[in-house]
Structure 1
Amino acid sequence: MSTFRQYSMAAASAVAMQAAKEMEAYLRNKPETIEVLNVEDEPSCQAKDIDLIWTYYRSDGNRAVKTIEIKGDRYYGTGNYFLETISNEAKNTPGCFLYTAADYVFYYFLEPKELHILPMPTTRDWFQQHLPEFPEKKTSTPVGKNKFYVTVGRLVPRQRIINEVPGVRIINLAARLNI
């Protein structure tokens, strides 16, 4: 019997696609937004783990650009974030949370449509300082007949990050998204 949670590639892709769609809609509906670019398929952005480039007007009227990594999650009820430390255990590739060059991780719970905006690298620095405090968990995703890859991460109580990392914001999008 497996000691880790298993996901199908189709289910994982569906979560990622829905999260990206809803994050793009959220940003496009903000009055200060100039442009939202989905760069998930661009190799140079994949290497930096950046999903969106958001151009907007700051409150002083100047243009600004922020980069965003999106993490979709279906398990709001656990009270945790799953922060990926190893993307593919067999290849020992670093997890996105450890190497993303994005300005923010948009950690999005599809139900209840709650967005947690985690500033980077502040959140990553905090996470690395406290890493041993959090239980390691693994998930597996099938990629072919009798083949799968294992992702490794830590379960981090949301309230710890909310309380201890400056700049974390939480936005309930249920009323804002008409999807």
Structure 2
Amino acid sequence: MLDTEPSSRVHDVQEDPRFQHRGVDLLWELPSGEVRGIEVKGDRQARRRYWFELVSNVEKDTPGCFLYSTADLLVYVFLSQAQLHALPLKNVREWFLPRAKDYALKHTTTKTGAIRYTTVGAVVPCHEVAEAVPGVLCVSLKRGAAKEAAPTRVAGSQEGPETEALAPTGTDAK
């Protein structure tokens, strides 16, 4: 991401309570002085599908970060493919919510010490978001050579001549 805006800086605010309740992990300070909030999600699965977290904790009835985050960007890092996808969160949310029932809901459980909780999310193929929402950015992350990674606008972004169509992919959540 820093390659797309030379001289920008990233600040890690994951542990800052002022940003935790807003669903913001990083602040991206651009050379213009503009600051963008970023929510980061990592995925180790072989198939690339987004997991839009709708319920963070079923047992406590807390909303998922996809619904409450005030971040400007939802950044997905697909570790197996060494790719970073930057999604304009507000636009993706506006696109997704009217068609949420079109996507399967998946549940996953997490254990933290003796406490176990259930999270619910919608599984959405990357290519559907890229085709429908302008401004989705895909960056190849070259292992051990991150400075050489080149950003690519994905199909549907209309922001540059380079496009990369994304194949349907996904998470293996239960």
TM bracket, shorter-chain basis: 0.7 to 0.9
In structure 2, what is the equivalent of residue 98 of structure 1? 67
Please identify runs of 4+ aligned residues in structure 1 that moved more than 4 A.
none
Unmatched 5+ stretches in structure 1:
1-25
What TM-score does the superposition give when structure 2 sets the normalisation length? 0.78
Residue 69 to residue 126, structure 1, CA distance change in 2 (3 Å): same
Q: 2:130 aligns with which of 162, 166, 173?
A: 162
Instruction: Check whether the contact 1:137–1:153 (CA below 8 A) recurs between aligned residues.
Output: yes
What TM-score does the superposition give when structure 1 sets the normalisation length? 0.76
Unmatched 5+ stretches in structure 2:
148-174
Paired residues, number: 146
| Identical-residue share of aligned pairs (%) | 37
In structure 1, what is the equivalent of residue 171 of structure 2? none
Give the counterpart letter for 1:125 in structure 2.
E
Q: Output one character per residue of 1:74-117: Cα deviation in whole Å (capped at 9) or x when no partner.
A: 11x33311110000010110000111101101111112210111
Give the counterpart letter for 1:126 in structure 2.
W
Structure 2: distance between partners of 1:30 and 1:121: 20
Give the counterpart letter for 1:48 in structure 2.
R
In structure 2, what is the equivalent of residue 46 of structure 1? 20
Q: How does 1:1-179 map to 2 (within 5 A)?
A: 27=2, 32-57=6-31, 62-75=32-45, 77-145=46-114, 147-174=115-142, 176-177=145-146
Q: Output one character per residue of 1:121-176: Cα deviation in whole Å (capped at 9) or x when no partner.
A: 0001111111000000000011233x311000011111100111111111101164
